[in-house]
Amino acid sequence: MFREDDRIVVAISGGKDSAVLLHILHHIEYAFPDSTIIPVTIDEGIQGYRNKALESAESLTRSLGLSLQIFSFQNLFDYTLDEIVRLKPSKSVGACSYCGVLRRRALNIAAKELGADVLAIGHNLDDEAQTVLMNILRGDSSRIVRTNVSREDSIPGLVPRVKPITELSERDIVAYAYYLHLPYHNVPCPYAEAAYRNDVRDFLNEMEYRRPGTLLATIRSSEAITEAFKQSLQKWSFTTCERCKTPSPSRICKACEMLETIRR
């Protein structure tokens, strides 16, 4: 995932997963003086939630001697997520969809501005297995391939993403953070649309309890699916979004389409 002289931008949310990711990467990269770690937080503008998580992120980065870079929806897109939710641009699109698409865009902008070679994201084993199963249950198996692109196969114009802790279970991550007294924010987001994910989580946890290894096997399956469909991935034609000039499968990318609806 990494090279010895990488500029690694690490996405920090203030939660436990990214706290552990940053702690581990900092520990390892210390041995590679040519590499640089830059922690970045995207402030979506969720009053009472993100501002608290930011305090934890700042406390963690300070304790590691790193300087936290903050990019906000307000500065990048002119709206906070709270404002978008108040405006209700669409009945069928929820807060998490706006947040997910715009945060992905914001992270790519931040990583590019900071000259990153690679962008590290803190998804854990439980989250990743849930996402794989949710994509399958929704009939969106192509998303498994699109979100599993390796550094070598990443699309030019998008900073390559790596997910170094996808084989660490949530339980291990909590234990690591607890044992090392890492500061992290542990309050759920007020907009969390978690009903579906909760059902999938309960099912996978039950299976993991009865048949240990289920979570890891789910991840392995998604890797095998990605490998099998790699050829079709190369065939996907990417163009450049007419508005923001980032790579996009359509004339106008999803983020610009959403911003257009919000402005209207």
The CA-based angle 234-236-239, given to 5 degrees, is 115
Residues 245-264 close enough to bind ligand SF4 by CB under 6 A: none
Residues 165-194 close enough to bind ligand SF4 by CB under 6 A: 189, 191-192
Which of 13/246 has CB closer to ligand SF4?
13
Q: How far is CA 197 from the centre of its chain?
A: 16
Long-range CB pairs of 51-56, under 8 A, 24+ apart, other chains included? 52/14, 52/185, 52/187, 53/13, 53/14, 53/15, 53/185, 54/14, 55/14, 55/185, 56/14, 56/15, 56/19, 56/183, 56/184, 56/185
**Residues touching ligand SF4, count (CB under 6 A):** 8
Which residue, chain included where needed, has tokens 């715009």? 102
Which of 117/127 has CB closer to ligand SF4?
127
> Of 93-101, 132-140, 174-182, 203-211, which segment contacts ligand SF4 by CB under 6 A?
93-101
Of 113, 106, 40, the closest CA to residue 73 belongs to: 106
Phi/psi for 155 (5° steps) reads -80, 130
96 is an interface residue for ligand SF4 by CB under 6 A: yes
Selected from 47, 52, 67, 100, the binder of ligand SF4 by CB under 6 A is 100
SS3 43: strand
Selected from 37, 84, 99, 102, the binder of ligand SF4 by CB under 6 A is 99
Which of 60/95 has CB closer to ligand SF4?
95
Which of 76/207 has CB closer to ligand SF4?
76
54 is an interface residue for ligand SF4 by CB under 6 A: no
Residues 105-164 close enough to bind ligand SF4 by CB under 6 A: none
Which of 100/213 has CB closer to ligand SF4?
100
Shortest Å distance, C-beta 94 to ligand SF4: 8
**Close Cβ partners of 44 (under 8 Å, ≥ 6 residues apart):** 50, 72, 73, 80, 81, 99, 102, 103
Which of 37/189 has CB closer to ligand SF4?
189
8 A C-beta contact, residue 17 and residue 165: yes
- Site for ligand SF4, rule CB under 6 A: 44, 95-96, 99-100, 189, 191-192
